[in-house]
């Protein structure tokens, strides 16, 4: 499937043509762990399923096409994908990371890579000049999310790429929140893009996976070696589920964005809400950049409820449609407390410095009727307000 097709068409067709033998319009699931060889070391393109698998290869081609990339690699989780990327670094190397990132990213850098000799500094990169100030001669990678998790900051990918490249460093972008339906970082100058396919790409909360894409052939070759050597690869059935989910990605993302925009506007006017973080709001500091860099503002919202942690806890215990759970990007709406859940592994002082305050709540807006979702939040906020009084 050529990448010249428009995105909605790519989502349906990228990576796969109907099977020539049977005409199947969905790919078969190849569960084999090993493949017969015509002679010692002579195979038909596959030898062992950790190294490569037909179903995984289809997904890698599909997602690479969606990101406009030459190369794509799938992993058993988003964390496995990032851990593999970080293993392209060595002792003495340095990473500049955005200060507002998924708790698992922070944990990997601080508690896994730093003991191995890879240093990291977490910097607010909403002003690109701060990256230039944070770079050292040892900096080999800049790692960002945009929009960020959980504060929905929007970072200037093109400007950060220019600064990173001038210093001889690579820029990696976690594109999980935006998806390639809304943003393609490689087109903005990033060297690699990462996804937790668990989230929007799969979209049904029934698989865990990760993905990395790049246009750099040498980097892709190194990552392919590490993918095989480390072995954190997804099962064929997991790959099939993501392939299935991707086919509806564009229509799902349109609905996520439409409903999230309506809910963010409503939350911003609610007396029990102190502030709302959502790039689609004109009041958001990154709104203008989001309009230039993204096709739509996404389906994630975070907001601060008045009354701190007790109020946030009461809110999460009072919703009926919004399920209190970690993760995001599924058809169902989820609600969580970053300080207690997804970002609980970050020390409290560091969370507070970044702005992950005790009253912060993050919601993943699903595909339910937006009026029902608004009614659910209204009920929960009323319960919370009564408790505060």
Answer yes or no: 153 catalytic. no
Answer yes or no: 199 catalytic. yes
Q: How many CB atoms lie within 10 A of CB 185?
A: 28
Pairing of strands 360-364, 334-336: antiparallel
Contact in structure between 151 and 355 (CB atoms under 8 Å): yes
What is the CA angle 8-11-13, rounded to 5? 110
Answer yes or no: 275 catalytic. no
The alpha carbon of 126 is separated from its chain's Cα centroid by a whole number of angstroms, namely 18
In the three-class reduction of DSSP (H, G, I as helix; E, B as strand; rest coil), residue 8 is classed as helix
Pairing of strands 139-145, 94-98: parallel
**DSSP, residue by residue, 87-127:** TT--TT-EEEEESS--HHHHHIIIIIIGGGT-EEEEE--SS
* Active-site hit among 100, 102, 191, 351: 102
How far apart, in whole angstroms, are the C-alpha atoms of residue 115 and residue 110?
A: 8
How far apart, in whole angstroms, are the C-alpha atoms of residue 198 and residue 205?
A: 7
Percent helix / strand / coil, the chain, rounded to 5? 40, 15, 45
Contact in structure between 361 and 303 (CB atoms under 8 Å): yes
* Active-site hit among 16, 50, 132, 222: 50
* Active-site hit among 93, 156, 174, 358: 174
Q: How many CB atoms lie within 10 A of CB 138?
A: 13
* Active-site hit among 199, 295, 313, 351: 199
Answer yes or no: 130 catalytic. no
How far apart, in whole angstroms, are the C-alpha atoms of residue 222 and residue 29?
A: 27
Helices (H), 167-304: 217-230, 236-246, 249-268, 287-293
Closest CA to 175 of 252, 260, 82: 82
Strands, E assignment, the chain:
71-75, 94-98, 119-123, 139-145, 170-174, 192-196, 210-214, 273-277, 300-305, 323-324, 334-336, 360-364
Which residues does the annotation mark as catalytic? 50, 102, 174, 199
């Amino acid at each position: 499937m050529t990448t010249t097709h428009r995105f909605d068409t790519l989502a349906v067709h990228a990576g796969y043509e109907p099977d020539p033998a049977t005409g199947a319009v969905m790919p078969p699931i190849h569960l084999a762990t090993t493949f017969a060889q015509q002679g010692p070391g002579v195979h038909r393109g596959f030898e062992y399923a950790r190294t490569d698998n037909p179903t995984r290869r289809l997904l890698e081609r599909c997602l690479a096409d969606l990101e406009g990339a030459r190369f794509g690699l799938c992993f058993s989780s988003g964390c496995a994908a990032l851990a593999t990327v970080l293993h392209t670094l060595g002792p003495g190397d340095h990473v500049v990371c955005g200060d507002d990132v998924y708790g698992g990213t922070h944990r990997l850098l601080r508690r896994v890579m730093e003991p191995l000799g890879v240093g990291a500094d977490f910097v607010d990169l909403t002003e690109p000049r701060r990256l230039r100030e944070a770079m050292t001669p040892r900096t080999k990678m800049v790692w960002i999310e945009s929009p960020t998790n959980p504060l929905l900051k929007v970072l200037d990918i093109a400007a950060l790429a220019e600064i990173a490249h001038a210093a001889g460093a690579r820029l990696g972008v976690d594109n999980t929140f935006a998806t390639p339906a809304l943003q393609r970082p490689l087109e903005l100058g990033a060297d690699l893009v990462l996804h937790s396919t668990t989230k929007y790409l799969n979209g049904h909360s029934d698989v865990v996976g990760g993905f990395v894409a790049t246009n750099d052939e040498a980097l892709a070759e190194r990552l392919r070696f590490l993918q095989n050597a480390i072995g954190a690869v997804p099962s064929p059935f997991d790959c099939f589920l993501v392939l299935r989910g991707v086919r509806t990605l564009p229509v799902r993302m349109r609905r996520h964005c439409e409903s999230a925009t309506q809910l963010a506007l409503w939350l911003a006017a609610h007396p029990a809400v102190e502030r709302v973080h959502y790039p689609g709001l004109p009041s958001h500091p990154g709104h203008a950049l989001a309009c230039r860099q993204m096709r739509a503002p996404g389906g994630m919202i975070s907001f601060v409820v008045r009354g701190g942690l007790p109020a946030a806890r009461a809110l999460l215990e009072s919703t009926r449609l919004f399920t209190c759970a970690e993760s995001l990007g599924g058809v169902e709406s989820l609600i969580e407390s970053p300080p207690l859940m997804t970002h609980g592994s970050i020390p409290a002082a560091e969370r507070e410095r970044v702005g992950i305050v005790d009253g912060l709540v993050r919601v993943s807006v699903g595909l339910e009727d937006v009026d029902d979702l608004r009614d659910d939040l209204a009920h929960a906020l009323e319960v919370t307000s009564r408790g505060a009084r």
